[in-house]
Amino acid sequence: MELGVIGLGRMGRIVVDRVLEAGHEAVVFDIDEESVADAADAGARPAASIVDLAEKLGPEKRIWLMVPAGDPVDAALDELAPVLDSDDIVVDGGNSYFEDSVRRAESTDAAYLDCGTSGGPAGAELGFSLMVGGPQWAYDELVPVFDAVATGPDGHDRMGPAGSGHYVKMVHNGVEYALMQTYGEGFELLANGRYDLDLESVANTWNNGAVIRSWLLELCEEAFREEGNDLGDVADRVEGGSTGTWTVQEALEQEVPVPLIYQSLAERFGSRADDGRFSRRLASRLRYGFGRHDVPRRE
Ligand SMILES: NC(=O)C1=CN([C@@H]2O[C@H](COP(=O)(O)OP(=O)(O)OC[C@H]3O[C@@H](n4cnc5c(N)ncnc54)[C@H](O)[C@@H]3O)[C@@H](O)[C@H]2O)C=CC1
Ligand SMILES: O=C(CO)[C@H](O)[C@H](O)COP(=O)(O)O
C-alpha cells in the first residue's frame, strides 16, 4: 500500500519508517523541508506540498496526518478538501480533541479515522498502540498499515464510530497523568523518608515482578539513572495538560468522579507558579492570623 504522511516530526517520522520497513510505500510532506529530505533519504517519496502529495497518491488516497492537534489539522484538511472523495481515507494520528474529530469526519468527503496513538517516540522500535474511530470499511482497508505502525495485529483496534478513537486516547492520557502522579508521590516519600534509598534500585526491584511494575516505572528507573537520585537539575514544573483538561471536562459533563485524574492535573497547573503558590502563601499567613504561628518570609 502507498501511504501519504503529512507531518514528519517525532511521531510522523516513526509512522513513515515503520510502513517502509513493512514493505509499503510512503509519500511524505512537512512544512519543514529538512524533515522531508530526511524521510526521502530513508526511502520515502518527497512531496513539495499537500496538494502535490495528494496528486502523487493517485485515486483511492490513504493519508495519515501526524501534525500538532488543532489548527494544523484543519489547515491540512482544508488543503486536501478539493482533491478528496468518498473512496479516500484520512487518518488523524495526533492528539486531537474528539469533538473536533467528529466535526472533521462530518465535513470531509473522505472516510475519516480518528486514531489515538500511544507509545511515544520511545516506542518507535516496539510499535504503537492505536485506538481507531470511524467507518469499519476504512479501518479494515487500513489494517495492513495499522499492523505496521502498531506493535502488530494486537496493537490496534476499532473503538467505534467517529470520535471514539480520540475519546479513548483522551481518557488514556488522563490515566497517564494519574499514574505519573502516584509514582511521583511514592518516590517523593521514599526520597524524603526514613531510609537513605537508591531510587533507581527501588524502581528496578519493583519492575521485576512487583504488582506496580509498568513502562512508566521503567521510565522512572531510567530517570533516576540518568538524572541522579535527586533528579539533579530537573525543575519543579510540568508542562502539557490539554488532554488531561479534556478528560476532566468530560468527566464533569458525564458526572463521573475522577478525583485522581483531576488532582494530577491540578498538581501540574500548581507546578507552574513562578513565584510560589499563592494559596500556600495565604495559608501560611492565615496560620499567623488565627494562631500567631511564625510566617516563613522570602529572602
Ligand atoms: N510526542 C508524543 O509522545 C506523542 C505525540 N502525539 C501527538 O502526535 C501529533 C504529532 O506529535 P509530534 O510528532 O510529537 O510533534 P512534532 O512537533 O515533533 O511534529 C509535528 C510535525 O508537524 C509538522 N507540521 C506542522 N504543521 C504542519 C502542516 N500544516 N503541514 C505539514 N506539516 C506540519 C511540523 O513541522 C513537525 O515536523 C500531536 O498531535 C501529538 O500530540 C501522540 C502521542 C504521543
Ligand atoms: O499523548 C501523549 C503520550 O501518551 C503525548 O506525549 C502527550 O503530549 C502527553 O500529554 P501532555 O503533553 O499533556 O503531558
The Cα–Cα gap between 221 and 206 comes to 10
Domain boundaries, the chain: 2-161, 169-271
Mean pLDDT score, 129-153: 98
The interface predicted TM-score of the complex, written ipTM, equals 0.98
**Hey, which residues are catalytic here?**
169, 176
Query: Which atom belonging to ligand 1 lies closest to the Cα atom of 119?
Result: 44
Would you state the cell numbers that stand for residue 196, as one nine-digit string?
A: 537513605
The Cα–Cα gap between 81 and 190 comes to 55
Mean pLDDT score, 142-165: 98
Mean pLDDT score, 102-131: 95
Write down the pLDDT at residue 299: 85
Confidence of residue 43 (pLDDT cuts 50, 70, 90): very high
As annotated, the binding site for substrate includes 95, 118-120, 172-173, 177, 268
Residue 240 CA, ligand 2 centroid: distance in Å? 7
Cβ atoms of 243 and 95 closer than 8 Å = yes
Write down the pLDDT at residue 176: 97
Closest Cα to atom 14, ligand 2: which residue?
240
Confidence of residue 123 (pLDDT cuts 50, 70, 90): confident
Higher pLDDT, 58 or 95: 95
Ligand 2 contacts CB of residue 240 (under 6 A): yes
Give the position of cell 494530577: 264
Mean pLDDT score, 261-290: 92
Mean pLDDT of the chain: 97
The Cα–Cα gap between 128 and 174 comes to 18
**Which ligand has an atom closest to residue 128 CA?**
1
Listed residue (18, 175, 163, 164) closest to 100, CA to CA: 163
Q: At the top level of CATH, which class does the domain 169-271 belong to? A: mainly alpha
The Cα–Cα gap between 253 and 234 comes to 36
Cβ atoms of 149 and 233 closer than 8 Å = no
Phi/psi for 63 (5° steps) reads -130, 130
CATH number, span 2-161: 3.40.50.720
pTM of the model: 0.96
